[in-house]
Amino acid sequence: MGRRMDPSPAVAAADAYRRALRTAASVAAYAVLARSMARELLPDELRATARWGASKLSARLGWRRGELRTLVVRSHAGRSSAGIVSDDNLLYDAARTYLASRLDPPPPDMPRLGLTVSKAKDDDGGGVDGWKTRLFIEPGDFTTDVFDGVEFTWRSVPLPDGEKKKNAGAGSAGGDRDYFLELSFDAEHTATALERYVPFVMESAKETKRRERGLKICMNEGKMWYIINHHHPATFDTLAMDSDLKSSIIADLDLFTRRKDHYRRIGKAWKRGYLLYGPPGTGKSTLVAAMANHLRYNIHDLDLSHSGSNLTLQWLLLSIQNRSILVIEDIDCCCDAVTREGRHLQVTLSGLLNLIDGLWSASGDERIIVFTTNYKERLDAALLRPGRMDMHIYMGYCGWDGTPSRRSPTTTS
Ligand SMILES: Nc1ncnc2c1ncn2[C@@H]1O[C@H](COP(=O)(O)OP(=O)(O)OP(=O)(O)O)[C@@H](O)[C@H]1O
C-alpha cells in the first residue's frame, strides 16, 4: 500500500480556505475570506494583480471592499493665525501637472475636461518662449489611476465661496486655486499612498516639468553671464555617431541623473565630466547640444579669454545653477594663452581644475562639465588622470559609406 504524503503547508491552507469558502454565508464573509486567502497563498506580483482585479470588480458591482480613505490636497500648505494662506502646497501643483500628463490624450470616459493655454515662461520668469496647453479635471469631476495594483481616485472639488475670497491672490496659480483635490483609495493602502504613490506623483511631475523646460545658453563676459534661448535642433537621433557609442553615452547620462543617492552615499559631488576629442568639425559642439536637449540642462559656454582672473572665474562658476552643462572648448589652448588684446590670461589650468573640483563641486548638484579638444595628445596630464574626466569620447570623421569612425569611449571612473 502506497504511503500518503502530508500535504505542503500551502496546499493544506488552500484546502482549509476552500472548505471555508463553501460554507461562507454572506458576500461580505466571502470577500473577507478571499482576501485572507490571497494574502497567504499568492506571490507578491500575483497579489498585486489580484488586488487590481478585485478593485475593478468592486467598482463595477458597486460594493466596497474596505473603508475608503480620502486625503484632501489644498493649494496652500497652511493658514496663519490671521487666516492668510501660507506657502504653496507642492503636492497640489505636482498633482495637477501629473494629472494633466495622464489626461493627454483625453480618456474616452471623460467627455468634459478643462483646458488652459498659458505662456510657456522660461525658468527665470523672463522671456516668453511659446505657449503650452494643459488639460485638467473639471470641478466636480474625477479620474482614476492604478498604481501598483491599487486604484486611486482624484476628484476636483470646488471651494466654498467664502474660501475662494481668502485664497484670492495666493501663490501663482490664480483661479486654479478655486478648487482643491481629493485623493481617495481603499484605507488598507494608506501606506502605499503615502510612502510610494505620493512620491511617485511628485517625481513624475518633476520629470514632466523638466521636459517642458525652455533651455538657455549662457556666455560669459567679465563677471556676467549673458543668456539667450537655446533652440539648437541637435538630438541624439540627428547626431551621426556609431550607434553603440551613442547608446553608451545616453545610458551614462541617464544613469547620472538617477544617482543622487549614490553620490551622497559615496561622498562625491553630483557631477560628471566628459572629454570630447577629435578633428575639427566632427560634431563635438553638436554632441553637447544633443546632451543638453536630452537632459533639458542649460549650457554655460565658458570662454576663458573673457573671464580675466581666477577670482572672476570663481564668481562665474559659483553663479552656475544646478542642472547645467559647463562647456570649455579647445581646452588644450585656452589656458596659459594670450587674449586678443595681447594680455596673458591670468587663469591657469591648475587654477581652473582646482576651482572645478573644489568650490564649484561643493556649490551645487547635478552638473556636467565638458571639455573639448582637437588635440588630446597636447593635453596636460592633470586633465587626463583617472577620475578627472569620467568619460573620454572620440569624435571622428564619417567613412565613405557615411558610417562614423569609432573608438570605444574610455570611462575613467
Ligand atoms: N557627427 C555629426 N552629426 C551631425 N552633425 C554633424 C556631425 N559632425 C559635424 N556635424 C555638423 O557639422 C558642423 C560642425 O560641427 P561641430 O561644430 O559640432 O564640430 P566640432 O567638432 O565641435 O568642431 P570644432 O572642433 O571645430 O569645434 C555642424 O553644423 C554640425 O551640424
Q: Predicted ipTM? A: 0.95
Residue 3 corresponds to which cell in the numbers above? 504511503
Please give the C-alpha separations between residue 338 and each of 44, 171, 200, 344, in angstroms, as whole numbers.
66, 51, 52, 4
Of all protein residues, the one whose alpha carbon is nearest to atom 31 of ligand 1 is 286
Reported pTM:
0.64
CA distances from 144 to 154, 210, 363 (A): 6, 25, 42
Q: What is the DSSP letter of 101?
A: H
State residue 209 phi and psi, 5-degree precision. -65, -35
CA–CA dist 319, 69 (Å, integer): 46
Grid coordinates given for 213: 523646460
Cell 500518503, residue located: 4
Opening angle at CA 120, ends 218 and 118, nearest 5: 165
* pLDDT number for residue 391: 93
Which of 132, 152, 136 has the alpha carbon at shortest distance from 144?
Answer: 152
Look at the chain and count its residues. 413
Task: Write the DSSP symbol of residue 238.
Answer: T
Lining ligand 1 with CB less than 6 A are: 239-241, 280-286, 374, 395
Question: Which three three-digit cell numbers place residue 324?
Answer: 547645467
Pocket test for ligand 1, best of 277, 282, 327 (most atoms within 8 A of CB): 282
* Residue 47, Cβ density class (10 Å: 0-12 exposed, 13-18 middle, ≥19 buried): middle
**pLDDT value, residue 372:** 95
Query: How far away, in angstroms, is 289 Cα from ligand 1 center?
Result: 10
Distance, in Å, from the CA atom of 287 to the CA atom of 87, rounded to the nearest integer, reads 40
Question: CA 28, 33, 37, 40 torsion: positive or negative?
Answer: positive
- CA of 232 from ligand 1 middle (Å) equals 12
A 10 A CB-CB count for 228 gives 10
- CA–centroid distance, 235 to ligand 1, in Å, is 13
Angle, helices 90-102/198-212, rounded to nearest 10 degrees: 70
For the chain, domains (ranges, CATH) are: 9-61 (no CATH), 68-212 (no CATH), 216-411 (3.40.50.300)
* Spatial distance between the Cα atoms of 328 and 6, rounded to a whole number of angstroms: 73
Cell numbers 468592486 correspond to 58
Ligand 1 atom 26, closest CA: 280
- If we measure between CA atoms, which residue out of 322, 237, 288, 302 comes closest to residue 395? 288
Helices and strands (H, E) in the chain, number of each type:
15, 14
pLDDT of residue 313: 85
Distances (CA, A) of 5 to 9, 199, 383: 12, 49, 71
User: Is residue 273 within 8 Å of 379, Cβ to Cβ?
Assistant: no
Residue minimizing CA distance to atom 13 of ligand 1: 281
Ligand 1 atom with least separation from CA of 287: 18
CA-CA distance, 352 to 346, in Å (whole number)? 11
pLDDT at 9: 46
- What would the grid cell of residue 278 be? 577629435
Give the closest residue to 116 by CA, choosing from 94, 91, 141, 134. Answer: 134
Look up residue 253 and give its three cell numbers: 547620462
- The tens-digit pLDDT sequence of the chain (413 residues) is 333 334 444 445 445 544 544 444 444 444 444 444 444 444 555 455 545 555 554 554 444 557 899 999 998 876 655 555 567 889 999 999 999 988 888 888 888 888 888 776 554 444 555 677 888 888 888 999 999 999 999 999 988 776 665 555 444 444 466 789 999 999 999 999 999 999 999 999 988 887 777 788 999 988 889 988 888 889 999 998 888 999 999 999 999 998 888 988 888 889 999 999 999 999 999 999 999 999 999 999 998 887 767 788 888 898 898 899 999 998 887 665 544 455 555 677 777 888 888 877 778 888 999 999 999 888 888 888 877 889 999 998 865 555 555 566 666 65
Omega into 7 within 30° of 0, i.e. cis? no
DSSP letter at 176 equals G
C-alpha cell at 82: 490671521
